[in-house]
Amino acid sequence: MTGTKKMDRLRLVLLLGAFSALGPLTIDMYLPSFPEITADFGTQASLVQLSLTACLIGLGLGQIIMGPLSDVHGRRKPVILSLVLYLVASFVCAISPNIYFFIAARFVQGFAASAGIVISRAVVRDVYSGTELTKFFSMLMLVNNLFPMIAPMAGSGVISFTTWVGVFIVLGIVGLLLVILATTGLKETLPVEKRVSGNFGELATGIRALIKDRHFIGCALAQGIMIGGVFAYVSGTPFVYQNIYGASPQLFALLFASNGISLIIGSQVVGRFSRVFSERNFVILGLFLSCAASLTALLVILLQGPLFALVIPLFFFVASIGMTATASFVLAMGSQSERAGSAAALLGLLPFVIGSITSPLVGVAGEYSAVPMGVIIVCTSVLALVAFFGLAGKATATAAKEQAVA
């Protein structure tokens, strides 16, 4: 690859990474502001938490709408319009007169941010295929995985010298910058002749075809269920580490960041060795690693083992997610060049749906029990394994061979 092509690829990674980073920034950046928002609106903490739920619903619903729309109208126009909506919604959040208005604005903000996530993935499929798709997507995952770690710290930094309103002003400015970047730096990657009809019936038929595609849905469910396990881990570890093991907030932040690093390692291993091992083999390796790590973690929990004995298997559990999510995305998208937007939408929606189920279940036994978290990550690991082999099966092996030839 020439130096010019490497620079072009780096620019595209950073641009698409910035678009998809809106998701974690929108979710995580205002979390440290919860107590202040509660006091400022004179409301209950549960209603402030509902604003996060509204944002997540917007992110999930938006992907299933914006993905197919990008198959009809191309990638560039929907991204630019959604980013304009995002910056408006961010400033509306900042001037919300009450908590209910704020919740509604958060839904719109999440809906608008969804386009950056789903369309950036569709653009990747438009431009790359085969091992180049794997390598590029692993680079994109590297950028994406940094922001869930950075966003809460950035939010804390903002509210250290201003109020929670400043967080949403910053997000609005980010939206404005991305509008400028999209307008000046994003080229259309879906030619008119490759676009699908805007007829609703045809779009619905395309979605149904994806759901009936055993190869696609097997990979999509494997990825979605595994990431659902991550939602359980994220929801459970603050209580497990701090309430049960007595970890300080600083130690918790360090442990959480270390597992964020393991997520990056998992995704980068796939990109690094994509020419040596097939994506199918990486999915299988990741699934079995997840089962082994989650079972070990559950055993430590049941035996009430020390903190370090729990942290180690959880590190490998999260690393397996990075490996599986990257490789299964490539397998799922490999044969979906004509409906990349719709395919990316389903891949993006499933983790939010499954995560919305697993996250609340972590607390069913109270704040001082780690057993539900351990059981859930074991169940998601096993279910992902079953979904992949049960639905994808030989079709995945055949698709992997065709993709390798391509």
Q: How confident is the model at residue 152 (pLDDT cuts 50, 70, 90)?
A: low
**In the predicted structure, residue 70 carries a pLDDT above the cut 50:** yes
**In the predicted structure, residue 236 carries a pLDDT above the cut 80:** no
Same fold, 1-187 and 196-406: yes
C-alpha angle with apex 164: 101 to 157, nearest 5 degrees?
A: 150
**In the predicted structure, residue 230 carries a pLDDT above the cut 50:** yes
**Segments making up each domain of the chain, as ranges:** 1-187, 196-406
CA dihedral 261, 263, 266, 269 (to 10 degrees): -50
pTM above 0.85, yes or no: no
For 89-142, what is each residue's pLDDT tens digit?
999 999 999 999 999 999 999 999 988 888 887 887 777 777 777 777 777 777
75 is written with which tokens?
């990638």
Nearest-angstrom CA–CA distance, 196 and 194: 7
State the CATH class of domain 196-406: mainly alpha
State the CATH class of domain 1-187: mainly alpha
Share in percent of the chain as helix, strand, coil (round to 5): 85, 0, 15
Looking at every residue in the chain, the average pLDDT score rounds to 81
For 188-227, what is each residue's pLDDT tens digit?
888 877 777 665 666 667 677 787 888 888 888 888 898 8
**In the predicted structure, residue 245 carries a pLDDT above the cut 70:** yes
For 327-382, what is each residue's pLDDT tens digit?
888 888 776 666 677 787 788 778 877 877 777 777 777 767 889 889 999 999 99
